[in-house]
Amino acid sequence: MGYPAHIDYSLQLADNALILGHRNSEWTGHGPILEQDIALSNIALDLIGQARYLYQHAARLIGGKVTEDGSGGREVTEDGLAYGRDAWDFRNCLLVEQSNGDWGKTILRQFLFSAWQYYFYGQLRNSRDQELAAIAEKSVKEVTYHLRWSGEWVIRLGDGTEESHERMRRAVDELWKYTGEMFAPAAYEKELIRLGIAVDAGEIRPLWGEKVGEVFNEAGLEIPMTWMQGGGKDGKHTEQLGYLLAEMQFLQRAYPNCEW
Amino acid sequence: MHDKQWPLWEVFIRSKQGLDHKHAGSLHAADAAMAIENARDVYTRRMEGVSIWVVESKYIHASDPDEASSLYDPANDKVYRHPTFYDLPDELKHM
């Protein structure tokens, strides 16, 4: 049996990656141009790949088997964790579950999260949990590219036409209030920070702020003054997550343990 | 946006083993930086490459296929242009 805070933490990281990966995958076949459709689908695959490693880790901590062995639905598996939990069990940040909106909003959501993930994984490489450290080591390379790609798009659209600028400005207004949560540790995170397992996200805030400020500056975007909404890490989500899960989990809910 | 297509770019990829860049295909992009990123996403997904070149398609000048007979056929009967008429010493092994 794993240590409960450790499980919550692994699930939080897995949920972040899965939910954003799924949101991005909603663009597959709908991208504004073929090349960008592929680019965002690649990012979706990277994130879902990260989610798999993290769910496998969580399943091991919980004490279940990682792979389905056909002995019935009671085993804890990566699939069970992704497709069998309800919205209040999910630990992801509110930012990643927000709807795609237009291309600008999708890009900005990716940029704000990739910037966080970049510094976060950078620190997680030093975790005393060897498995998390290894996942971070692998993932940081992928995220480096996500950050570069999304950052260039934020600049391109923010500093583009009147309309693209206006759309980016609206996206900033919609999403900024969900950024504070990424740096506010939940109770289970505080416990793990003391044990050297979790990253103290408060420490990466200045780095994140500097990176985001740099790109916003070049894009001609301003950081709004706003209150910050939280709760996702403790399972209190916006209405957006329910719709996403209804679609994502449908098949496994309707036909439990089905395979193809 | 529909009537304003991004320009077309030709993509050249050098593979891990390869010495030279080979034409991989083409794609649309607003500028060179985006063309390289798009090429990375479209043409190196399966570990095909370690280096990417892009050039806007309009800068590639091609020979005219209708002139093929005058351009290439004259080389047909000039075997002496191949270095096959030398007696090589036995010590040379790798020619």
Distance from CA of A143 to the nearest CA of B (A): 14
pLDDT at A20: 98
Residue of A35, A144, A159 to mutate, testing the B interface (most B Cβ within 10 Å of its Cβ): A35
CA B27/CA B36 separation, integer angstroms: 10
Please count the CA atoms within 13 angstroms of the CA of A215 that sit on its side-chain side: 25
User: In this predicted structure, what is the pLDDT of residue B1?
Assistant: 47
Q: Count of A–B CB contacts within 8 Å?
A: 29
Among B1, B31, B37, most A C-beta atoms within 10 A, so best to mutate, is B37
The answer to whether A164 faces chain B, any CB pair under 8 Å, is no
Q: Kindly state the tokens that stand for A111.
A: 């940029």
Distance (Å, whole) CA A56 – CA A196: 21
Task: Tell me how far apart the alpha carbons of residues B6 and B48 are, in angstroms, rounded to a whole number.
Answer: 25
**Residue B70 Cα, gap to closest chain A Cα (Å):** 40
Contacts of B1 in chain A (CB under 8 A): 32
Residue of A nearest to B38 (CA): A35
On chain A, the residues whose CB falls within 8 A of the CB of B45 are: 38, 42
Average the pLDDT over each of A11-25, A82-96, A226-240, B10-24 and give the range with the smallest value.
Answer: B10-24
**Nearest CA to B40 among A154, A46, A185?**
A46
**Chain B partners within 8 Å of A152 (Cβ):** 33-34, 37
Q: State the Cα–Cα distance between residues A11 and A38, nearest whole angstrom.
A: 28
Q: Are A33 and B33 inside 8 Å of each other by CB? A: no
Residue B81's pLDDT is what?
A: 79
User: CB distance A38–B42 less than 8 Å?
Assistant: yes
pLDDT digits (tens, 9 = 90+) for A215-255: 999 999 999 999 999 999 999 999 999 999 999 999 999 99
Q: Average pLDDT, whole number, for chain A?
A: 93
Interface test with B, best of A33, A46, A161 (most B CBs within 10 A): A33
Confirm if A96 and A23 have CB atoms less than 8 A apart.
yes
For the record, the structure tokens of A142 come out as 């992928």
What mean pLDDT is predicted for residues A170-195?
A: 96
- With 80 as the cut, is the pLDDT of residue B94 above it? no
Q: Is A36 on the interface with B (CB under 8 A)?
A: yes
**Contact (CB<8Å) A152/B37:** yes
Residue in B1, B28, B41 nearest the CB of A39? B41
* Residue B82, both tokens: 């191949």
- How many residues does the structure list for chain A? 260
Q: Quick one: pLDDT at residue A92?
A: 98
Q: What ipTM is given for this predicted complex?
A: 0.71
- A35 interfacial to chain B (CB closer than 8 Å): yes
CB contact under 8 A, A35 and B30: no
Q: How many CA atoms lie within 13 A of A39 on its CB side?
A: 27
Q: Rounded mean pLDDT of A28-47?
A: 94
Which residues neighbour A158 within 8 Å (Cβ) at sequence distance 6 or greater?
A164, A165, A168, A169, A216, A218, A219, A220, A221
Closest Cα in chain B to A149? B37
Q: How far is B51 from chain A (nearest CA, A)?
A: 16
What's the whole-number mean pLDDT along residues A7-36?
96
Return the percentage of chain A with pLDDT > 70, whole number: 95
B31 touching A (Cβ < 8 Å): no
- Greater confidence (A257 vs A241) lies with A241
Q: Is B11 on the interface with A (CB under 8 A)?
A: no
Is residue B24 a contact partner of residue B41, using CB atoms and an 8 Å limit? no
The answer, for A161 touching chain B at a CB cutoff of 8 Å, is no
Phi, psi dihedral angles at A213 (to 5 degrees): -60, -40
The pLDDT value recorded for residue A3 is 80
Pairwise CB contact (< 8 Å): B29 & A156: no
* Residue among B33, B40, B42 whose CB faces A152 most closely: B33
Phi then psi dihedrals of residue A216, to 5 deg:
-60, -40
Q: Mean per-residue pLDDT for A181-190?
A: 96
Condensed to tens digits (0 to 9), the pLDDT of residues B12-65 reads 999 888 789 999 999 999 999 999 999 999 998 887 788 999 999 999 998 888
